[in-house]
Chains A and B, each alone.
Chain A
Amino acid sequence: SQQGEEDPQALSIQEGENATMNCSYKTSINNLQWYRQNSGRGLVHLILIRSNEREKHSGRLRVTLDTSKKSSSLLITASRAADTASYFCAMDSNYQLIWGAGTKLIIKP
Protein backbone atom coordinates (compact mmCIF):
# COMPACT_ATOMS: atom_id res chain seq x y z
CA SER A 1 0.00 0.00 0.00
CA GLN A 2 1.07 3.59 -0.53
CA GLN A 3 2.64 4.90 2.65
CA GLY A 4 5.11 7.34 1.22
CA GLU A 5 4.35 10.88 0.26
CA GLU A 6 6.36 12.99 -2.10
CA ASP A 7 6.33 16.67 -2.74
CA PRO A 8 6.07 18.49 -4.88
CA GLN A 9 3.86 16.41 -7.14
CA ALA A 10 5.31 18.29 -10.08
CA LEU A 11 8.32 20.53 -10.52
CA SER A 12 9.31 22.57 -13.55
CA ILE A 13 12.67 24.33 -13.61
CA GLN A 14 15.15 25.78 -16.09
CA GLU A 15 18.06 23.73 -17.30
CA GLY A 16 21.06 24.33 -15.10
CA GLU A 17 19.06 24.95 -11.94
CA ASN A 18 18.97 22.55 -9.03
CA ALA A 19 15.93 20.37 -8.37
CA THR A 20 14.89 19.22 -4.92
CA MET A 21 12.28 16.58 -4.21
CA ASN A 22 11.10 15.45 -0.81
CA CYS A 23 9.75 12.19 0.52
CA SER A 24 8.08 11.50 3.85
CA TYR A 25 7.04 8.19 5.35
CA LYS A 26 5.30 6.78 8.39
CA THR A 27 6.92 3.46 9.31
CA SER A 28 10.42 2.63 10.49
CA ILE A 29 12.70 1.77 7.62
CA ASN A 30 15.84 -0.20 6.89
CA ASN A 31 16.80 1.91 3.93
CA LEU A 32 15.32 4.36 1.46
CA GLN A 33 15.79 4.19 -2.28
CA TRP A 34 15.19 6.63 -5.09
CA TYR A 35 14.12 5.54 -8.54
CA ARG A 36 13.62 7.35 -11.78
CA GLN A 37 11.00 6.64 -14.43
CA ASN A 38 11.23 8.09 -17.91
CA SER A 39 7.94 8.48 -19.73
CA GLY A 40 6.70 5.13 -20.94
CA ARG A 41 9.55 3.18 -19.38
CA GLY A 42 10.26 1.06 -16.34
CA LEU A 43 11.79 2.37 -13.15
CA VAL A 44 15.54 2.60 -12.75
CA HIS A 45 17.30 2.53 -9.41
CA LEU A 46 19.30 5.69 -8.67
CA ILE A 47 20.60 5.57 -5.14
CA LEU A 48 20.08 3.82 -1.81
CA ILE A 49 20.65 5.35 1.60
CA ARG A 50 20.73 3.21 4.71
CA SER A 51 18.89 4.13 7.88
CA ASN A 52 22.18 4.85 9.68
CA GLU A 53 23.37 7.23 6.96
CA ARG A 54 22.48 10.90 6.77
CA GLU A 55 23.74 11.87 3.34
CA LYS A 56 24.89 10.18 0.20
CA HIS A 57 26.19 11.39 -3.15
CA SER A 58 26.24 9.88 -6.59
CA GLY A 59 27.38 12.13 -9.41
CA ARG A 60 24.94 15.05 -9.56
CA LEU A 61 22.62 13.38 -7.08
CA ARG A 62 22.60 14.11 -3.38
CA VAL A 63 20.28 12.29 -1.03
CA THR A 64 19.67 13.11 2.61
CA LEU A 65 17.81 11.10 5.21
CA ASP A 66 16.41 12.34 8.51
CA THR A 67 14.99 9.37 10.37
CA SER A 68 13.80 11.54 13.26
CA LYS A 69 11.57 13.46 10.84
CA LYS A 70 10.92 10.40 8.69
CA SER A 71 11.88 12.28 5.58
CA SER A 72 14.35 12.22 2.72
CA SER A 73 15.27 14.60 -0.03
CA LEU A 74 16.77 14.11 -3.47
CA LEU A 75 18.76 16.98 -4.93
CA ILE A 76 19.75 17.00 -8.58
CA THR A 77 22.35 19.65 -9.26
CA ALA A 78 22.95 21.42 -12.56
CA SER A 79 19.86 19.87 -14.11
CA ARG A 80 19.78 18.79 -17.74
CA ALA A 81 16.92 18.28 -20.16
CA ALA A 82 17.59 14.54 -19.94
CA ASP A 83 16.71 14.64 -16.23
CA THR A 84 13.06 15.13 -17.18
CA ALA A 85 11.32 12.14 -15.62
CA SER A 86 9.28 11.07 -12.62
CA TYR A 87 11.18 10.34 -9.43
CA PHE A 88 9.96 7.90 -6.81
CA CYS A 89 11.14 7.20 -3.31
CA ALA A 90 10.76 3.69 -1.94
CA MET A 91 11.13 2.71 1.68
CA ASP A 92 12.47 -0.71 2.65
CA SER A 93 10.33 -1.69 5.59
CA ASN A 94 9.95 -5.29 6.73
CA TYR A 95 11.59 -6.46 3.50
CA GLN A 96 8.97 -4.77 1.33
CA LEU A 97 9.41 -1.64 -0.71
CA ILE A 98 6.74 0.94 0.07
CA TRP A 99 6.47 3.51 -2.67
CA GLY A 100 5.86 7.21 -2.74
CA ALA A 101 3.51 8.76 -5.28
CA GLY A 102 6.31 10.29 -7.32
CA THR A 103 7.43 13.76 -8.35
CA LYS A 104 7.21 14.68 -11.99
CA LEU A 105 10.24 16.78 -12.91
CA ILE A 106 10.33 18.84 -16.09
CA ILE A 107 13.54 20.55 -17.14
CA LYS A 108 12.96 23.39 -19.54
CA PRO A 109 15.74 24.05 -22.07
Chain B
Amino acid sequence: DTAVSQTPKYLVTQMGNDKSIKCEQNLGHDTMYWYKQDSKKFLKIMFSYNNKELIINETVPNRFSPKSPDKAHLNLHINSLELGDSAVYFCASSQDTSGRFQTQYFGPGTRLLVL
Protein backbone atom coordinates (compact mmCIF):
# COMPACT_ATOMS: atom_id res chain seq x y z
CA ASP B 1 0.00 0.00 0.00
CA THR B 2 1.28 3.43 -0.92
CA ALA B 3 1.94 5.50 2.19
CA VAL B 4 1.98 8.94 0.57
CA SER B 5 0.43 9.25 -2.86
CA GLN B 6 0.22 12.18 -5.25
CA THR B 7 -1.76 12.78 -8.39
CA PRO B 8 -1.04 13.45 -11.11
CA LYS B 9 2.48 12.13 -11.56
CA TYR B 10 3.06 14.32 -14.60
CA LEU B 11 1.41 17.62 -15.45
CA VAL B 12 2.08 19.55 -18.63
CA THR B 13 0.15 22.76 -19.07
CA GLN B 14 0.17 26.17 -20.67
CA MET B 15 1.23 29.37 -18.99
CA GLY B 16 -1.67 31.15 -17.33
CA ASN B 17 -3.66 28.01 -16.58
CA ASP B 18 -4.84 26.95 -13.12
CA LYS B 19 -3.99 23.45 -11.90
CA SER B 20 -4.24 21.33 -8.76
CA ILE B 21 -2.09 18.58 -7.33
CA LYS B 22 -3.56 16.18 -4.81
CA CYS B 23 -1.85 14.40 -1.95
CA GLU B 24 -3.08 11.70 0.39
CA GLN B 25 -1.36 9.84 3.20
CA ASN B 26 -2.63 6.69 4.87
CA LEU B 27 -0.10 6.70 7.71
CA GLY B 28 -2.33 8.42 10.21
CA HIS B 29 0.12 11.33 10.42
CA ASP B 30 -0.93 14.71 11.71
CA THR B 31 1.42 16.84 9.64
CA MET B 32 1.75 17.22 5.89
CA TYR B 33 4.09 19.27 3.74
CA TRP B 34 4.55 20.54 0.22
CA TYR B 35 8.04 20.90 -1.19
CA LYS B 36 9.31 22.25 -4.48
CA GLN B 37 12.43 20.73 -6.03
CA ASP B 38 13.93 22.75 -8.84
CA SER B 39 16.14 21.64 -11.70
CA LYS B 40 19.24 21.97 -9.52
CA LYS B 41 17.66 19.57 -7.02
CA PHE B 42 17.29 22.14 -4.26
CA LEU B 43 14.45 21.09 -2.00
CA LYS B 44 12.45 24.01 -0.66
CA ILE B 45 9.57 23.75 1.78
CA MET B 46 6.49 25.64 0.72
CA PHE B 47 3.80 24.81 3.25
CA SER B 48 3.16 22.66 6.27
CA TYR B 49 -0.18 21.73 7.77
CA ASN B 50 -0.77 20.17 11.16
CA ASN B 51 -4.24 18.71 11.70
CA LYS B 52 -5.64 20.78 8.85
CA GLU B 53 -4.11 24.02 10.13
CA LEU B 54 -1.40 25.94 8.34
CA ILE B 55 1.78 26.09 10.44
CA ILE B 56 4.48 26.90 7.91
CA ASN B 57 4.03 29.25 5.01
CA GLU B 58 7.34 30.11 3.43
CA THR B 59 7.72 32.95 1.00
CA VAL B 60 5.64 31.54 -1.79
CA PRO B 61 3.62 33.56 -4.34
CA ASN B 62 -0.01 33.78 -3.34
CA ARG B 63 -0.84 32.06 -6.62
CA PHE B 64 -0.11 28.90 -4.61
CA SER B 65 -2.88 27.95 -2.23
CA PRO B 66 -2.83 24.78 -0.16
CA LYS B 67 -6.05 23.21 1.03
CA SER B 68 -6.43 20.52 3.65
CA PRO B 69 -9.96 19.05 3.75
CA ASP B 70 -8.86 16.61 6.44
CA LYS B 71 -5.60 15.61 8.02
CA ALA B 72 -5.02 12.82 5.50
CA HIS B 73 -5.19 15.15 2.50
CA LEU B 74 -3.26 18.23 1.47
CA ASN B 75 -3.90 19.60 -1.99
CA LEU B 76 -2.01 22.33 -3.78
CA HIS B 77 -3.77 24.68 -6.16
CA ILE B 78 -1.75 26.91 -8.43
CA ASN B 79 -3.29 29.86 -10.25
CA SER B 80 -1.96 31.61 -13.33
CA LEU B 81 0.91 29.22 -13.86
CA GLU B 82 4.25 30.70 -14.89
CA LEU B 83 7.28 29.20 -16.61
CA GLY B 84 9.23 29.38 -13.35
CA ASP B 85 6.72 27.11 -11.66
CA SER B 86 8.12 24.18 -13.62
CA ALA B 87 9.60 21.83 -11.05
CA VAL B 88 8.92 18.63 -9.18
CA TYR B 89 6.50 19.06 -6.29
CA PHE B 90 6.71 16.63 -3.40
CA CYS B 91 4.16 15.99 -0.73
CA ALA B 92 5.39 14.58 2.57
CA SER B 93 4.00 13.71 5.97
CA SER B 94 5.29 13.19 9.48
CA GLN B 95 3.68 11.95 12.64
CA ASP B 96 3.37 15.37 14.21
CA THR B 97 5.36 18.48 14.95
CA SER B 98 4.88 18.49 18.69
CA GLY B 99 7.70 16.04 19.20
CA ARG B 100 11.20 15.93 17.91
CA PHE B 101 12.96 13.37 15.75
CA GLN B 102 10.42 13.67 13.01
CA THR B 103 11.01 11.45 10.03
CA GLN B 104 9.25 12.60 6.90
CA TYR B 105 7.69 10.26 4.39
CA PHE B 106 7.62 11.49 0.82
CA GLY B 107 5.29 10.96 -2.06
CA PRO B 108 6.65 10.07 -5.51
CA GLY B 109 6.47 13.65 -6.75
CA THR B 110 4.50 15.51 -9.40
CA ARG B 111 6.51 16.72 -12.36
CA LEU B 112 5.05 20.00 -13.52
CA LEU B 113 6.07 21.48 -16.84
CA VAL B 114 4.69 24.87 -17.81
CA LEU B 115 4.95 25.71 -21.50
Instruction: Report which A residues bind B (CB closer than 8 A).
Output: 1-2, 30-31, 33, 35, 40-45, 48, 50, 86, 88, 90, 92, 95-97, 99, 101-102, 104
A33 touches B44 (CB 8 A): no
Q: Inside 8 A of A92's CB, which chain B residues have their CB?
A: 100-102
Q: List 19 A-B contacts (CB under 8 A).
A: A42-B92, A42-B106, A42-B108, A43-B106, A45-B104, A45-B105, A48-B103, A86-B41, A88-B43, A90-B104, A95-B100, A95-B102, A96-B48, A96-B56, A97-B45, A97-B102, A99-B42, A99-B45, A104-B41
Partner of B41, one of A30, A35, A50, A101: A101
Chain A residue nearest to B43 (CB atoms) is A99
The answer to whether B44 touches A31, judged by C-beta atoms less than 8 angstroms apart, is no
Question: Known: A30-B101, A95-B100. Contact between A43 and B41, CB under 8 A?
Answer: no
- Report the Cα distance A35→B58, complex, angstroms: 22
Whether the Cβ atoms of A95 and B103 lie closer than 8 Å is no
Chain A residue with Cβ nearest B97: A95
Give the docked Cα–Cα distance between A101 and B44 (Å): 10
**Contacts from B to A (Cβ < 8 Å):** 4, 40-45, 48, 56, 58, 90, 92, 97, 100-109
- Chain A contacts for B48, CB-based, 8 A: 96
Is chain A's binding surface mostly helix, strand, loop or mixed? strand
* Residues of chain B lying within 8 A (CB to CB) of residue A41: 108-109
Closest A residue, CB atoms, query B90 = A42
- Which A residue's beta carbon lies closest to that of B109? A42
Contact B103 A33, beta carbon cutoff 8 Å? yes
Q: Do the beta carbons of B100 and A45 come within 8 Å of each other?
A: no
Q: What 7 A-B pairs have minimum CB-CB distances, sorted nearest first?
A: A42-B106, A43-B106, A99-B43, A30-B100, A45-B103, A95-B97, A42-B108
Q: What is the CA–CA distance of A92 and B45 in the complex, to the nearest angstrom? A: 13
Neighbour of B44 across the interface among A2, A48, A86, A104, CB < 8 A: A2
A86, B102: Cα distance in complex, Å: 21
- Which of A45, A88, A96 gathers most chain B CB within 10 Å? A96
Contact across chains for B42 and A2 when beta carbons are under 8 A apart: yes
Q: Which residue of A lies closest to B4 (CB)?
A: A42
